[in-house]
C-alpha cells in the first residue's frame, strides 16, 4: 500500500485489454485509483477531465502510439509524468524518450515492483493541487479548475522552494500576487514574513532606495510588483545582491525574490530600460498567469466564490442568463474586474437572482471605465518611455527614434504630444 501517493489517480493506457486489466489490478491493490483507456484518443479525453497524477502508457498502439500520446500530453501539461511501457523497447528508444521529457521507460515484461517504484517517484514530482485536499491548503484562496490553472499550480508548487528568482508574468488583475502568496505559504519560508514592494513610478529617489533596502530585512519572500518599472539604480543594486544561489541576502536571512510584470522584460532590456543581466536572472524561472478570458471555465466557480464572500444580500445568486453574460464577457480587467461586477450586482439587485439586464448594464459601465483607465495608462507609459529614451541617448533624437523604431518626423510628433523637449535632456547632463 503506497503512503505518500495513497488514492492518487493513475491513468493506464493500453490497447491490450488483458494487460490493461492486469496493470490496473496491480496498481489498485497498491492503493491507487486507476482510470483505464484503450487508445490514445480515449486517454486524452479522460486526461482532460480527470487530470491524473501520472500516466502509464503502452508504446505500440494503433492510430496514436505512446510517443504521439506523450507529445499531446506534454503540450497540455508538461508537469505530469508519463511512463512508457513497451515490448519493443531498445536503449536508443529509451534515451530518445527521456530526452524528450518522458519520465521513465520500462521494457515488457516488466517487474511489478519496479513499476510501482517508478510510479511512486513520479508522484513525488506531481503533487496534488486540489484545494479541498488537506495537503493542498496552500492554494485554498485560488479558485480554479481549468486545465491551464491546474498546470500552473502544479509547476508553482514545484518551484515554491527553488532559491532562484521567479518572474510571474500576466495581465493586470489576473492574480499574480495571490499566486505568489500561495507559493510562499507552501514553501519552507512560510513562517517568515511575506512583503510586497511596489516598483512603480517614484522609485528613483533616496527615500525609495531606503524602502527598497529595508524591505529585505527579515523577509522570507519579497514580491517586487511591476518590476519592469523599477528604477535603473535599484535594478543595479538588486542584481549586485543576487548571488549564485539566487537569494537576495538581507540582514537577518536569505530572501526569496518573486517579481511580477505585465510587460515584456525582453523588450525592456532591448530598449535599455531594464538591465540585461537582471533580465536573465529572472528568465531562469518564469510562470505565466493566464487571463480570465483564457480560463472561462473558472468563471462560474469564481462567481459562486465571490457571491459566498459577499455575505447576506437581497440577491443570493445569478440567473442563468446573467451567468451566461458573465461567462461570455471579454474581461479586460480579469479576475479583479469580475469580482467588482459580482459584488456590485449583488448589492444592487432587489430580487433573489441577479437579472441579465443588471449584469449587462454593469458590464457596459465597467468596460467604459476600464478602457478609460487603459488609455490613461498608455499615455503615462508613452511619456515615461520617451523620457527614458531621451535620457539614455542624452537628447539625441535620431538615436532615440531608431531605438523606438519610428521615423524622426513621427518621433517629433510624439515628443510634442507629451511636451517633451530634447534640449532639456542635453542640459540636464551639464
Domain boundary at 242, 264, 288, which? 288
What confidence score (pLDDT) does residue 217 get? 66
The reply to whether 389 falls in a domain is no
Domain boundary at 372, 389, 414, which? 372
Tell me: do 255 and 308 sit in the same domain: no
Which structural domain, as residue segments, surrounds residue 113? 9-124
Tell me: do 103 and 146 sit in the same domain: no
Tell me: do 73 and 27 sit in the same domain: yes
Taking the CA atoms of residue 91, residue 96, residue 99 and residue 105 in that order, the dihedral angle to the nearest 10 degrees is: -50
- C-alpha 215/C-alpha 413 separation (Å) is 41
| pLDDT tens sequence across 359-394 | 999 998 876 665 545 555 566 677 777 887 787 788
Tell me: do 146 and 283 sit in the same domain: yes
Strand partners, 354: 318
User: 1-34 burial, b if ≥16 CB within 10 A, otherwise e?
Assistant: eeeebeebbbbbbbbeeeebeebbebbeebebeb
Whichever domain contains 183, its CATH number is: 3.40.50.300
Query: Grid coordinates representing 160?
Result: 515554491
Whichever domain contains 41, its CATH number is: 3.40.50.2300
| pLDDT tens sequence across 210-266 | 777 776 766 689 899 999 988 888 888 888 877 544 555 544 457 889 999 998 899
Residues of the chain with pLDDT under 70: 1-7, 88-91, 93-95, 97-99, 125-136, 201-208, 215, 217-219, 243-253, 312, 367-380, 427-430
What confidence score (pLDDT) does residue 293 get? 92
Query: Grid coordinates representing 4?
Result: 505518500
Work out how many domains the chain is built from and give that number: 3
What confidence score (pLDDT) does residue 251 get? 47
Tell me: do 277 and 313 sit in the same domain: no
The reply to whether 385 falls in a domain is no
Tell me: do 277 and 175 sit in the same domain: yes
CB atoms within 10 A of CB 341: 24
Whichever domain contains 317, its CATH number is: 1.10.8.60
Spell out the residues 6+ positions from residue 21 whose beta carbon is closer than 8 angstroms to its own. none
What confidence score (pLDDT) does residue 1 get? 42
What confidence score (pLDDT) does residue 243 get? 57
Amino acid at each position: 500500500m503506497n503512503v505518500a501517493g495513497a488514492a492518487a489517480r493513475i491513468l493506464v493506457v493500453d490497447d491490450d485489454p488483458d494487460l490493461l486489466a492486469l496493470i490496473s489490478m496491480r496498481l489498485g491493490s497498491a492503493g491507487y485509483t486507476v482510470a483505464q483507456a484503450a487508445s490514445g484518443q480515449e486517454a486524452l479525453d479522460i486526461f482532460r477531465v480527470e487530470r491524473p497524477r501520472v500516466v502509464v502508457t503502452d508504446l505500440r498502439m494503433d492510430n496514436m502510439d505512446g510517443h504521439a500520446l506523450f507529445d499531446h500530453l506534454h503540450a497540455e501539461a508538461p508537469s505530469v509524468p508519463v511512463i512508457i511501457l513497451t515490448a519493443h523497447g531498445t536503449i536508443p528508444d529509451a534515451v530518445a524518450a527521456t530526452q524528450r521529457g518522458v519520465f521513465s521507460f520500462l521494457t515488457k515484461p516488466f517487474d511489478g515492483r519496479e513499476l510501482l517504484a517508478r510510479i511512486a517517484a513520479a508522484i513525488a514530482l506531481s503533487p496534488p493541487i486540489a484545494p479541498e485536499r488537506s495537503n493542498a491548503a496552500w492554494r485554498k484562496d485560488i479558485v480554479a479548475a481549468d486545465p491551464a490553472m491546474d498546470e500552473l499550480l502544479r509547476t508553482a508548487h514545484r518551484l515554491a522552494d527553488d532559491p532562484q528568482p521567479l518572474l510571474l508574468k500576466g495581465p493586470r488583475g489576473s492574480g499574480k500576487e495571490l499566486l505568489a502568496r500561495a507559493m510562499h505559504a507552501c514553501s519552507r519560508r512560510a513562517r517568515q514574513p511575506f512583503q510586497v514592494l511596489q516598483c512603480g513610478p517614484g522609485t528613483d529617489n533616496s527615500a525609495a532606495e531606503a524602502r527598497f533596502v529595508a524591505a529585505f530585512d527579515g523577509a522570507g519572500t519579497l514580491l517586487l510588483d511591476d518590476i519592469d518599472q523599477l528604477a535603473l539604480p535599484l535594478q543595479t543594486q538588486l542584481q549586485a545582491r543576487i548571488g549564485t544561489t539566487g537569494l537576495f541576502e538581507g540582514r537577518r536571512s536569505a530572501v526569496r525574490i518573486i517579481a511580477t510584470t505585465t510587460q515584456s522584460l525582453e523588450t525592456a532590456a532591448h530598449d535599455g530600460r531594464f538591465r540585461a543581466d537582471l533580465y536573465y536572472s529572472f528568465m531562469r524561472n518564469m510562470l505565466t498567469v493566464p487571463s480570465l478570458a483564457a480560463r472561462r471555465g473558472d468563471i462560474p466557480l469564481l462567481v459562486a466564490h465571490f457571491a459566498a464572500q459577499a455575505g447576506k444580500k437581497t440577491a443570493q445568486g445569478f440567473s442563468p442568463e446573467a451567468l451566461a453574460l458573465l461567462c461570455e464577457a471579454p474581461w479586460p480587467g480579469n479576475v479583479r474586474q469580475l469580482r467588482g461586477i459580482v459584488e456590485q450586482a449583488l448589492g444592487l439587485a432587489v430580487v433573489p437572482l441577479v437579472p441579465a439586464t443588471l449584469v449587462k448594464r454593469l458590464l457596459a459601465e465597467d468596460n467604459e471605465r476600464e478602457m478609460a483607465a487603459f488609455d490613461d495608462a498608455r499615455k503615462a507609459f508613452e511619456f515615461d518611455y520617451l523620457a527614458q529614451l531621451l535620457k539614455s541617448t542624452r537628447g539625441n533624437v535620431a538615436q532615440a527614434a531608431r531605438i523606438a523604431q519610428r521615423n524622426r518626423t513621427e518621433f517629433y510628433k510624439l515628443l510634442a504630444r507629451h511636451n517633451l523637449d530634447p534640449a532639456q535632456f542635453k542640459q540636464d547632463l551639464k
